[in-house]
Chain A
């Protein structure tokens, strides 16, 4: 994708510099309501995640932001994938509040995608989960809990 592919080929000192920069630029574009640019930058950032060490390859915020951008752009099926991915990754790191927020995004995206039954199931899931996030700390024993 445009100049970013060339930039990826250059031996950078820090392999996470490029995705971090792209995330930053996407954030700027988000504040400016330029959703096309947000989507494009986050796609490039996701493509460059493969070059990072495995431990750094998850970033639920990337998928959350891209789901938001795709919902603004009317790309509902892509938004569904991203929102569900964000939900799964927030669940993995134990961030219960953002996980429920991502599920709410997924409900709206599923509705836009025409999957009405799945959307209403997701809404019910949010209603059920909203009282559960009592703590949002990453230190909060996510590994000791039985995940759903």
Chain B
């Protein structure tokens, strides 16, 4: 009897196990909203960082660079949210560009959104059957006599509605989320209540010193803006505690000797 003893190396077994699991894992987490939130928070932190660099260190060049990057990132965030809203098919607020669908699609949509269709089936006109795309899992309820809708603030529908508001505000500089909003102390106090008062002071000081510059968006797919690449804190001011390199330690020891 021949016994074949063939042992797969441990690393290979682990790699096979990992890739098998990786391949068949289905990610069902609603990632887009929190990635969008991360994008917005990061953009706003660039603005806060700019104000801080001006307020504490009076480093106007760095501050202006960071502010520009924050504005670019906020603009990209707003634009992305608006385009996502346009891609979603909600009957009441968004007009769907017909060029993107086939004739059958638009015919089906027209039939579905026709109030007579709902009535013929004994449904109210604002029934989710009529107002939402099938399979979108949009739950809502209405409260009181005025029939105002209340939705979960973090549900897909609510996030979509927020994106639609962003799309509606796309052409309105009064409503659009941008760097200009953060130059208004009343707006910051109202809309960003978690921001500390020191940061609001810093923003006011920054606004007085650094005038707004018209924003020039970099081309899509191009390199990142300068402030997104150069953000390390200056070492000479003792702010960024970078560990000393071996050469520096040795030269310091030689000096002591």
Residues of the A chain whose Cβ atoms lie less than 8 Å from the Cβ of B87: none
**Chain A contacts with B in 97-139, Cβ cutoff 8 A:** 97-98, 100-101, 104-105, 107-109, 111-114, 116-117, 119-121, 123-124, 126-128, 130, 133, 135-137, 139
Task: Pick the residue among A68, A121, A127 that contacts B239 (CB under 8 A).
Answer: A121
B42 at the interface (CB under 8 A from A): yes
How many of B's residues come within 8 Å of A, CB to CB? 35
Of A97, A101, A123, A126, the most chain B CB neighbours within 10 A belong to: A123
A72 touches B194 (CB 8 A): yes
Residues of the B chain whose Cβ atoms lie less than 8 Å from the Cβ of A123: 45, 48-49, 52, 231
Residues of the A chain whose Cβ atoms lie less than 8 Å from the Cβ of B228: 127
Task: Pick the residue among A31, A120, A135, A144 that contacts B52 (CB under 8 A).
Answer: A120
A133 touches B25 (CB 8 A): no
Q: Take A121-B239, A130-B42, A136-B34 as given contacts and tell me if A108 and B25 are in contact as well, using a CB distance cutoff of 8 Å.
A: no
Alpha-carbon distance between A104 and B39 when the two chains are bound, in angstroms: 11
The 0/1 profile, CB within 8 Å of B marked 1, for residues 70-109 of chain A is 0110001000000000000000000001101100110111
Alpha-carbon distance between A100 and B41 when the two chains are bound, in angstroms: 10
Task: Pick the residue among A109, A127, A137 that contacts B45 (CB under 8 A).
Answer: A127
A116 touches B231 (CB 8 A): no
The 0/1 profile, CB within 8 Å of A marked 1, for residues 39-64 of chain B is 10110011011001100100000000
B49 touches A98 (CB 8 A): no
A7 at the interface (CB under 8 A from B): no
Task: Pick the residue among B21, B38, B45 that contacts A139 (CB under 8 A).
Answer: B21
Alpha-carbon distance between A105 and B195 when the two chains are bound, in angstroms: 9
Task: Pick the residue among B21, B46, B52 that contacts A111 (CB under 8 A).
Answer: B52
A12 at the interface (CB under 8 A from B): no
Interface size bucket, A side? 35 or more
A107 touches B45 (CB 8 A): yes
Alpha-carbon distance between A120 and B50 when the two chains are bound, in angstroms: 10
A124 touches B42 (CB 8 A): no
**Chain B contacts with A in 136-172, Cβ cutoff 8 A:** 153
Q: Which chain B residue lies CB-closest to A35?
A: B193
B223 at the interface (CB under 8 A from A): no
* Distance in Å: Cβ of B40 to nearest Cβ of chain A: 10
Q: Which chain B residue lies CB-closest to A98?
A: B34
B18 at the interface (CB under 8 A from A): yes
List residues of chain A with CB under 8 Å of any chain B CB. Answer: 31, 68, 71-72, 76, 97-98, 100-101, 104-105, 107-109, 111-114, 116-117, 119-121, 123-124, 126-128, 130, 133, 135-137, 139, 141, 144
Extra A-B contacts (14), CB below 8 Å, given A71-B196, A105-B194, A107-B45? A97-B34, A100-B38, A104-B41, A108-B194, A111-B199, A116-B52, A121-B240, A123-B45, A123-B48, A124-B232, A128-B231, A130-B42, A137-B25, A137-B29
List the 10 closest A-B pairs by CB distance, nearest first: A112-B196, A71-B194, A104-B41, A130-B42, A123-B49, A127-B231, A111-B196, A123-B45, A117-B239, A97-B34
